Chain A
Amino acid sequence: MTRRVGAVAFNTFREAVRDRVLYNLILFALLLVACAPLISEISVGVQRVLLINLSLTAISIFGTVISIFVGISLVSKEIERKTLYPVLARPVGRGEFIVGKYFGLAGTLAVNTLAMTVGFYLVLFLIMRNVTAADTNVLIAVYFLLLQFLVVIGLALLFSSFSSPLLSALFTLALFVAGSFAQDLRGFAGSAHGVARWFSWSASYIVPNVDRLNVITRVAHDEKISAALVGYNTVYALLYSCVAVSGAMLIFSRRNLK
């Protein structure tokens, strides 16, 4: 089973890295990172903070866009091109196909994020003339962004397993935005009563709590991120992705592909 999943993942990775759109997005993100020093010239006293905020936000936004738009096309493209049928005709289960697709895109995102992070450190070194121990703190924020991408890919796969690409993109984006308000939902649940309370409370657990994966501003100010937060965020992101991928597997295994 691992071999079959690995084969699907490898092919997904290979296909994704051939995508020109992907390179355009990465190039755009790197350009934005490279622009940070110019932008900080028109401000006062925030050169390093601005560089970190701008670069990590660019990595986050472009990574999320890639996760959504490549994620939603993973299944639909295979059905549209009819390349799914020869794959499923082999001893590859539908569940294995979904898991392979997930790992393939996760690998692509990991490589992209690594490339963009190297770009960020290069710019940081060029501007600050050195990279200190405090700058390695940024890697935790990058790691959290990667966890965020894993969650988004899972959601994109889940929706694309039963819906059209356009609707899948909309659903994933909507959940991502709603996830940014998860704490507000919880706060609202605390002050609401009856059905509203129950609904808000449930919703706050259903939506991905991506706001807790965003520590960009904190690392920009050299705030230490606790090991407990790193651990819990890792477990949360993996569990949430597991829920999304499992859901995608269940739906896709029952989908009529005729």
Chain B
Amino acid sequence: MNRQSTILTSLILIASFASSCLVLQRVSAVYPNSSLEDVLFISSPQFLKRASLGYSGLLADIYWMRVVQYFGSKHLRDSMQYKALAPLLDITTTLDPHLIVAYEWGSTFLQQPPPSGAGDNKAAVALVRKGIENNPTNWHLYMTLGFIQYQGMHDYLAASKTFEEGSRVPHAHPALKVMAAKMLTDAGSLDTARYMWQSVYDQSTDKDIRRNAQLHLACLLVDQEVPQLESIVQSFKAKFGRNPTSWRELISVGAVRGLPVDPTGQPYVLGGNGKVTVSDPKKLPFIHQGKPA
């Protein structure tokens, strides 16, 4: 091949490749947008385990990646349904019953109410119970299960029992005993919630779990601050016969010291009706107070 032919062939190659990329974009645009992500081509975990020819660990990791990608993509679209999440997690944990992260994170994905998660407490409990069955000496799983019963199901008695069982596991964190007691005495309070999430934050070495606990703690702070601020607004109304128009007005009368900001650093929004809300609720997905109407 002479020089001219080489250059010509190379140009054809580059042009063809670039064109194929462009055409592929068109193909993707006109391709029917089916809900394939909700389809499990092989739904039997036992079959997959056998078909893996002993490499079930790697297959479990691949399925775990699929779980994360599936959850992430749905979460970004504020999806209200996560149909394939529980079966995918079942496959992952059958392929590798010791993949603790799949139980811990998987149950969080399942438990959190939509759109933050699937809102399926039953499936979350079943997943963690399976984890405990396969890893009976892992006290973190008892803590996870107790948390679901406490936060998702408000079944404080069951949560107390789970924390108590977990505290009997060798080398279990002493906080589990305290949690078991708090479930029986003061389960519904903000203080208990703060103690629980602070414990998760302190005990976990996983940066993602710590970040999640931090977010919950921030949301609890909002739940505490919003009623306090609204009470200040009410006092102002009682004194001046009208709602304040801005925070500056409240600052000028000495009701608040400065511009009140939420844990994300954004100022709280003071509504004309005296309601206090956060400016970006998406950044604080677990708040119960201060949600814009």
Contacts and interface: CB of A to CB of B under 8 A. Distances in A.
A142 B214 CA distance: 40
B155 interface: no
A50 B96 CA distance: 12
A184 interface: yes
B65 A43 contact: yes
Contacts of B104: 45
Interface string A36-69: 0001001111100110011001001100000000
Contact of A214 (B54, B68, B206): B54
A49 B99 contact: yes
B58 interface: yes
A217 B56 contact: yes
A137 interface: no
B137 to A, nearest CB: 12
Given A45-B208, A46-B99, A223-B98, A57 B69 contact: no
Contacts of B69: 42
Contacts of A46: 61, 64, 99, 101
26 contacts: A42-B68, A43-B61, A43-B64, A44-B64, A44-B208, A45-B104, A45-B208, A46-B61, A46-B64, A49-B61, A50-B61, A53-B55, A53-B57, A53-B60, A54-B58, A54-B61, A57-B57, A57-B58, A216-B54, A216-B57, A216-B58, A217-B56, A217-B60, A217-B96, A221-B99, A223-B98
Contacts of B60: 53, 217
Interface in A171-190: 177, 180-181, 184
Interface of B: 50, 53-58, 60-61, 64-65, 68-69, 96, 98-99, 101, 104-105, 206, 208
Contacts of B101: 44-46
Contacts of B54: 180, 210-211, 214, 216
Question: 6 tightest A-B contacts by CB?
Answer: A217-B57, A45-B101, A214-B54, A53-B57, A53-B58, A180-B53
Contacts of A223: 98
A220 interface: yes
Interface of A: 39, 42-46, 49-50, 53-54, 57, 60-61, 177, 180-181, 184, 210-211, 214, 216-217, 220-221, 223
Contact of A45 (B50, B96, B206): B206
B61 A53 contact: yes
B192 to A, nearest CB: 27
Contacts of B56: 217
A110 B61 CA distance: 28
A45 to B, nearest CB: 4
B98 A221 contact: yes
Nearest to B55: A57
Given A44-B105, A45-B206, A184-B50, A216 B55 contact: yes
A150 to B, nearest CB: 17
A156 B54 CA distance: 20
A234 B208 CA distance: 41
A42 B105 contact: no
In this complex, the member of A42, A49, A50 whose beta carbon has the largest number of chain B beta carbons within 10 angstroms is A49
B53 A177 contact: yes
Contact of A39 (B57, B65, B105): B65
Nearest to B52: A180
A197 to B, nearest CB: 20
Contacts of A216: 54-55, 57-58
A61 B54 CA distance: 11
A224 to B, nearest CB: 13
A50 B60 CA distance: 9
Given A45-B101, A217-B56, 4 more contacts: A46-B99, A181-B50, A211-B54, A217-B57
A211 B51 CA distance: 12
B99 A43 contact: no
B129 to A, nearest CB: 20
A210 B54 CA distance: 9
Contacts of A181: 50
B19 to A, nearest CB: 29
Nearest to A50: B61
Nearest to A222: B98
B67 to A, nearest CB: 9
B241 to A, nearest CB: 54
Contacts of A49: 57, 61, 99
